[in-house]
Structure 1
Amino acid sequence: MKPIPNDALVEIRNLTFGYGERVILDDVSLRIPRGKVTALMGASGGGKTTVLRLIGGQWKAQKGQVLLQGPTGDDSAQDVGALQGRDLHLARRRMGMLFQFGALFTDLSVFENVAFPLREHTDLSEDLIRDVVLLKLNAVGLRGARDMMPSEISGGMARRVALARAIALDPELVMYDEPFSGLDPISLGTAARLIRQLNDVMGLTSIVVSHDLDETFQIADQVVVLANGKIAAQGTPDEVRHSTDPLVHQFVSGQSDGPVRFHYPAPPVDQDFCGARP
């Protein structure tokens, strides 16, 4: 196996994935640089969340590899798609995940939500768990909300609690699935700032799936636009923003029509409305 460059934490090589005959990702190759924020963008259904699930080992590619740099930081690499049992569990311990809308346990307090992965995956004493939880909550500005229930906090606060839970085990890689969805402008800006600050202060590698152009472009080091199963554009936010590719231009400018059509492919109108009825 050809080693991953030392400046990359994850490398996707010639990966193909789909459902039946529907191809979602078609021979895609991509590197996730260590210590950087990489944004995955593109139209809905383009395969962004699929990439996260493949990296996390939830799904396995039909072809190609998802390589994770070895924990020692040397040239060793693991093919996540080939891992099973304990090896897959250990690889996932190096990852944190912020699910869309937070996905907090509704019957657990803020404190207990963040403590959950520590109790499940470590042998820390309750005193140490308490200290770690409070440190993580303090990092997202919610130490004072420790005893509240998810039903008692706002959507923006819930997203921050979920972020504290995602970093509870001090992962190397944190993946964010639509972290800005449904947030008001203040909460959105707070969430974006936290992603950037935690990435830099904790030495994380971050992958952010988002449709929010302005905030995402402000915090990302690398932007990857997925479309039609391929990588349509890749580069710095400024490079992607000024891309001349028609599809990328349509996405960045928010045009309703272009390479991504308004109408989903369908039979001719006269065939549906004027043809023989069953």
Structure 2
Amino acid sequence: MTEHSDDLLVSLSGVRFAYGEREVLRGIDLTVRRGQVVAIMGGSGCGKTTLLRLIGGQLRASAGQVSVAGHELGGLSRDALYALRRRMGMLFQFGALFTDMSVFDNVAFPLREHTDLPAEMIRDLVRMKLNAVGLRGAEALGPGELSGGMARRVALARAIALDPMLIMYDEPFAGLDPISLGVIGQLIRKLNDALGASSIMVTHDIHESLEIVDYVYFVSDGRIVAQGTPDEIRASADPFVHQFVHAEADGPVPFHYPAVPIGESLLGEGGR
């Protein structure tokens, strides 16, 4: 299938997926257009990271279609899938840097692995990517010498090393202090725009995300339960969105695990 002439880069239609008997996704419809930064939000275990793996081709949908750049992933050969994946970048949770490599070699890794560029050109490209994230002076350091925010920026430089058309982020703000969180958020937006790429971000950080994304999907119980622009999400009266945005302890996602009434439990009725 050839690439579409319009601006649609990623499309999921009726996507279902199960780990064994446990169905995680129950009919997902989702689109990402070229140039967009899109956030996927929802509670832990709702299937957000599974969506990234389906889009990246690490998993195949049980039903429905996953298309990237006009290619339906389920119909691609192994070689064609790998060729498409080389046009994607991934920032893993907590960065996932190679601990036995320097900052320079971490960023150079995808260039050495997937291209035949001469060493001098790889050197210049790595320094350009590190400069873009403010860490050109840290190229000789090891991952153990980096702060959490610096490590995340190195991982971001590695994710954009091949100038991908699509960049995916799995919890890019996890464990960061407020300054580092703001820096990473602005870099995600600026680098996406500079590369002319699209970005998909799985995150729990609602406030930082709404400052930089173009569109938000909320996932709950394996389905898209709400979606919209940042302004629409902020103004939403949907109970699930309101609970998530305002970090309320109780709501559609209940505080209490199902149990008999406390009175019955204390009186011994229904207790163990």
Runs of 4+ in 1 over 4 A off after TM superposition: 1-5, 265-271, 273-277
Equivalent position of 1:85 in the other structure: 78
Cα distance per residue 1:47-84 (max 9 Å; x no partner): 11111000011111110010012xxxxxxx21113323
Tell me, in whole angstroms, the C-alpha distance in 2 between the residues paired with 1:24 and 1:34: 27
Distance 1:81 1:262, change over 3 A: farther
Q: Using the alignment, how far apart are the partners of 2:60 and 2:143 within structure 1?
A: 33
Check if 1:8 corresponds to 2:8. Answer: yes
CA RMSD of aligned residues (A): 2.1
Whether 2:109 is the aligned partner of 1:96: answer no
The DSSP-based 3-state class of the residue aligned with 1:225 is strand
Distance 1:276 1:220 in 2: 48
Cα 1:2/1:125, change in 2 over 3 Å: closer
Query: What is the TM-score of this pair, normalised by structure 1?
Result: 0.91
2 CA distance for matches of 1:46 and 1:275?
A: 30
Aligned ranges for residues 242-253 of structure 1 at < 5 Å?
Answer: 242-253=235-246
Unaligned runs of 5+ in 2: none
Residue 3 (structure 1) shift = 8.2
State yes or no: 1:107 paired with 2:107.
Answer: no
* 1:211-238 superposed Cα distances (whole Å, 9 cap, x missing partner): 1111100000001111121111111011
Q: Among the aligned pairs, what percent are the same residue?
A: 61
| 5+ long unaligned stretches in structure 1 | 70-76
- Structure-2 separation of matches of 1:91 and 1:148: 32
| Contact 1:4 1:11 (C-alpha < 8 Å) held by counterparts | no
Aligned to 2:61: 61
CA contact (8 A) 2:28 2:223 kept: yes
Given that 1:40 and 1:224 are in contact with CA atoms closer than 8 Å, whether structure 2 keeps it comes out as yes
- TM-score, length of structure 2 as denominator length: 0.93
Distance in 1, Cα, partners of 2:49 & 2:123: 32
**What's the CA shift for 1:32?**
0.6
2:181 to 177, 188, 213: 188
Q: Matches of 1:26 and 1:258 in 2, distance apart?
A: 22
Deviations 1:72-126 (A, max 9, x none): xxxxx21113323211110101100000000000000000000011111110111
Measure the CA separation in 1 of the matches of 2:119 and 2:182: 34
TM-superposed deviation, 1:24: 1.5
2:29 aligned with 1:29 = yes
Distance 1:262 1:167 in 2: 40
Q: Mapping of 1:247-262 within 5 angstroms?
A: 247-262=240-255
Deviation at 1:2, TM superposition (A): 11
The residue identity in structure 2 corresponding to 1:66 is V
- In structure 2, how many angstroms separate the alpha carbons of the residues matched to 1:227 and 1:213? 15
Is the alpha carbon distance of 1:251 and 1:275 closer, same or farther for their aligned partners in structure 2, counting shifts above 3 Å?
closer
Q: Please state whether the residue corresponding to 1:207 is helix, strand or coil.
A: strand
Aligned twin of 1:41? 41
Cα distance change on mapping 1:140 and 1:3 into 2, 3 Å:
closer
1:165 corresponds to: 158
Post-superposition offset of 1:262: 2.2
Question: Who is 2:198 aligned against?
Answer: 205
Match of 2:135 in 1: 142
Which whole-Å CA distance do the structure 2 matches of 1:85 and 1:213 have between them?
36
1:234 and 2:227 aligned: yes
